[in-house]
Structure 1
Amino acid sequence: MDLNSDLGEGFGIWRLGDDNALLGIITSANVACGFHAGDPSTMRKVCEEAAKNGVKIGAQVSYRDLAGFGRRFIDVDPIELADEVLYQIGALDACARAAGTEVVYVKPHGALYNATVHHEKQAKAVVNGVKAFKDLPVLGLPFSHLLHSAEAAGLRPVQEAFADRGYLPDGTLVPRGQSNALLTDTKQVVERAVRLLDGELVAVDGAVIKVQAESLCVHGDTPGAVEHARAVREALGTVTAFV
């Protein structure tokens, strides 16, 4: 199982999460590319630390929404959205290459991630943006339009699950702001991760959802993120990047 986390989500003088600590635990880093968070110096520092720790770098692309941290749906023209995805990947890849590594996958952030589950045009736009850069793997929710579009375009679709997010019975995430959206107890987070090894997770209503995830996410901005990630890694035993 690959263990990933969202990093580089500070901006300017603002810091969010302990990136350096998490980079000593995870195998893949979803790095903010400047549209929902992140700035050039933050991006470059995270890439440098990822390279030192042998952590794979992924572009966490977003709507252009710094004020909303990329958690608000935006009805972007698909052509414009594809171009913005391309722009973000290219910016992060420049920082990665300066650190002696490169971007090797793409994962949407926040509202864009959730929109591409059901929004076919935006899902295809994200894939088109990736294709314009390079044929990179795409992380997304199982059975989403995003992963279907990626596969149809000849990209590798990577099913992802979340150790610290609540799930609805249909396999989608509980919207942030609602009760049960986040798992904050380390024991619960570890139990979720271990059960995922058997291809199952439990929704907020108790329903069991079948999923074959290749990558498991522990959010870097969740309270207790470092403790969660460390406990999950110990419980999983062997963790290996999917790329």
Structure 2
Amino acid sequence: MNIDLNCDMGESFGIYTLGHDETAMPYVTSINVACGFHASDPNNIVKTIKKAKKYNLAIGAHPSFPDLVGFGRRAMAASHEEIYADVVYQIGALMGICKTEGLTLQHVKPHGALYNMAEKDSKVAAAIAKAIKSIDPNLYMVCSCGSMMVQGAQAVGVNYVEEAFADRAYTKDGTLVPRREPGAVIQDPQAVADRVLAIIKNGKVQSIDGFDVALKPQTICVHGDTPGAVDMIKAIRTRLVQDGIAVRPFSVK
């Protein structure tokens, strides 16, 4: 049994530092790198890719709506053609930077509001999937478990994996509890580690209101910018290894 741990990184901007990228990198296996639309800038992207190379991490693009002020968390009334173009642009930028370091991309994971919209709208998901496939048909699309994203990826015929979230509470219909609601983010490292192990071994998680929700992920998202994030990631990885679960990029079979 094996699992990938993915983490959003490269979200610093100019002189402003966000997240604990380098201290978290030794404990994850894949990273999702901001491409400049919701966070980061060319210089910070280059720095992030160099660090990823140092730790031998699988790299993914983390495209979003063009929303630096709102950190990509505000929904935009973009057409499917605009979404396609924005995603192609962002993947292309990151792919070019990776090429300068002799690296390739493993995957693409939408960010923020774009991810949330794709979860619920297979046409939005398909626009993202088309962009991914048009750039490189070997890339994977990271999709929320059992969501419309999966349908969009399947309709386009792009490679995909499903993900679950380590520290986020779920509703009974399998969506994430909005961050503004109490209990949306679980902060106890051991509780989160137990939860991740249960998801991997049992294929389900208990929702915030006590229902069993089926989840069969190939990758688990951990967050590197929350209080105590690195301790939580360490606890998850330690627990998985102790239980004999191999932690490695999902593209490594």
TM range (shorter): over 0.9
Tell me which of 184, 187, 198 is aligned to 1:184. 187
Give the drift of 1:120: 2.6
Q: Which aligned pairs between 1:58-137 and structure 2 lie closer than 5 A?
A: 58-135=60-137, 136-137=139-140
TM-score calculated relative to the size of structure 2: 0.93
The match for 1:141 is: 144
What are the superposed Cα offsets for residues 113-148 of structure 1, whole Å, 9 maximum, x if unpaired?
Answer: 111011232111111211221111111112222221
RMSD, aligned CA = 1.0
What one-letter code is carried by the residue in structure 2 that aligns with 1:142?
Answer: C
Aligned equivalents of 2:200, 2:127: Cα separation in 1: 32
Aligned equivalents of 1:42, 1:110: Cα separation in 2: 20
Tell me which of 150, 154, 158 is aligned to 2:153. 150
Partner SS for 1:108: coil
Aligned 8 A contact 1:148 1:157 in 2: no
What one-letter code is carried by the residue in structure 2 that aligns with 1:218?
Answer: V
TM-score calculated relative to the size of structure 1: 0.97
Identity of aligned residues (%): 42
Tell me which of 155, 167, 170 is aligned to 2:170. 167
Q: Which runs of 5+ in 1 are unaligned?
A: none
Aligned equivalents of 1:156, 1:189: Cα separation in 2: 29
Over 2 Å off, 4+ runs: none
Tell me the matched-pair count.
243
Give the drift of 1:177: 1.4
Q: Which runs of 5+ in 2 are unaligned?
A: none
Partner SS for 2:167: coil
Q: Mean alpha-carbon deviation: is it higher for 51-60 or for 195-204?
A: 195-204
Aligned equivalents of 1:99, 1:5: Cα separation in 2: 20
Partner SS for 1:58: strand
Partner SS for 2:158: coil
